[in-house]
Amino acid sequence: MLTSRPARLTLLIGLLAVFSALLALGQIARAGQHAKPAPASARAGALALLDQFDGRHLDRERYDWARRCTHGAQRGTVALQRFMQHFAPRGESMGIFSCRMTRGGSNYSLHAEGRALDWHLDIHNRADREQAQRIITMLLGSDGSGRKVALARRLGVQEIIWDCRIFSVRSMHWKHSGLCPAGRRVSDTTAHRDHLHIGLNWLGARERTSFWRHRQ
């Protein structure tokens, strides 16, 4: 029996709708096959690095003041720079060695002994702020046994400075940096708002902490 023209038109529209739906499902499936996996959280990333040390002695907190100017970057700080290139792909190194005193202070900077890395991240950029926080979370988080500041201690990190705050293993907590006096405007560099400062103790700078020894 012949169908009417309106009925044939309705059937055609229906078939086109089904075909379009099937095509869309196919595109979704192919996209799912090639989609990149969601990045692991900073906490999970740190735990993955720390799993290899499960049950092993954790390096004690150690802070070494800078005493003089050396002749360049320490090998552990160069290794830390490579570490950051892998785990902080948004940033880049602003340098390690600089023979100078601390800004506004009378002590030698860790940079004078080649034991500190400045990693460029701009606090005014949301993605950079998030990258800085991920690195800080990785370094200062606890390991699977609940031991605090685990990855930083295994790397030999003794201090972190970011956004007018400083974390030191001497106190094991954050405090306001003296580089940012109340009521006074300072540059983003002085305030550590355009870079993350990571300083190593001498064992870390010489690759003698557990993280570096494990990789040798």
Predicted TM-score (pTM) of the model is 0.80
C-alpha–C-alpha distance, residues 116 and 110, integer Å: 5
pLDDT at 7: 56
pLDDT at 89: 87
pLDDT at 183: 87
Taking every pair of Cα atoms in the chain, the longest distance, rounded to a whole number of angstroms, is: 101
Q: Would you list the domain boundaries of the chain?
A: 1-31, 42-215
Weakly modelled stretches of the chain, pLDDT under 50:
1-3, 15, 18-39
